[in-house]
Amino acid sequence: MSQYFQVHPLNPQPRLMKQAVQIIHGGGVVALPTDSCYALVCHLDDKAAVERLRRIRGIDEKHHLTLLCRDLSEIGVYARVDNRQFRLLKNATPGPFTFILEATRCVPRRLSHPSRKTIGLRVPENSVVEALLGELEQPLLGATLTLPGDDEPLNDPEAIRERIGKQIDLIIDGGACSFEMTTVVDLTGEDAELVRHGRGDPALLGL
C-alpha cells in the first residue's frame, strides 16, 4: 500500500517534502496535486518508474509525458526556445498550461515523441509542486491522473488511494483540485497552435 502524506496546501511541511523526494529517488511513482488536476509523477531518469507510470495510465510511448519544471530557465535546459517562444512562455507561466516544444539532448530519447522529437513542459502554479521541485532540484516527469476507462481525472486523494493505492508509492494529499486539465499549446510551428482548451486562458497567448 502506498504511503499517504497530508500536507498543508499553501505551506507543505518541509520534512514531508524531503521524504517524498527520497521516495522519488528510490524509483517511486507519486500522485500529487497541481494547479489543474492531480498528476502521477516520477523521476525523469528512472526508466522502470516511467514504464510503471505509463502502465497505470494505460498510455504508450506516443503519448506525451510532461516535464514539470521550476521556472522558465529550467524549461530552456530541456527544450529549444527561441525569442518568440520565450515571450509566449513568459506570458503564461507559471500556470495551467502545457507547451509542446522541441526537446534538447538533455531529454532521454525514450521520453520525447518518437517521430517528432518533441516534449511537453510546464511550470505549475501550486505550492506543493513548487516545494517538491525545489527540494528535488530538477524537473519531475508526469501525466494527468486519468485512469483507463475514465472520462475525467481523479480529483480526490481518498479516491486515488482507493483506486490505485496498491500500484503507486506515495499519495500527497494537498486537498481537492480542479477537474480541468491544462491547456495544451504546440509552439513548434511558425504560429502557436491550440491543441487542447483546458484551465489556462488561451487569450494569454493571443489564441
Averaged over 48-60, what is the pLDDT? 94
User: Cell numbers of 128, please?
Assistant: 506543493
How many alpha carbons lie under 13 Å from residue 129 in its C-beta half-sphere? 30
Structure confidence by residue, pLDDT tens digits, 101-143: 999 988 887 777 666 789 999 999 999 999 999 999 999 999 9
Q: Over pLDDT 90: what percentage of the chain?
A: 84
User: Residue 73's CB: how many other CB atoms inside 10 A?
Assistant: 9
* pTM score: 0.93
- Name the pLDDT band for 63 (thresholds 50, 70, 90): confident
pLDDT recorded at residue 114: 67
User: Which domains occur in the chain, in start order?
Assistant: 3-205 (3.90.870.10)
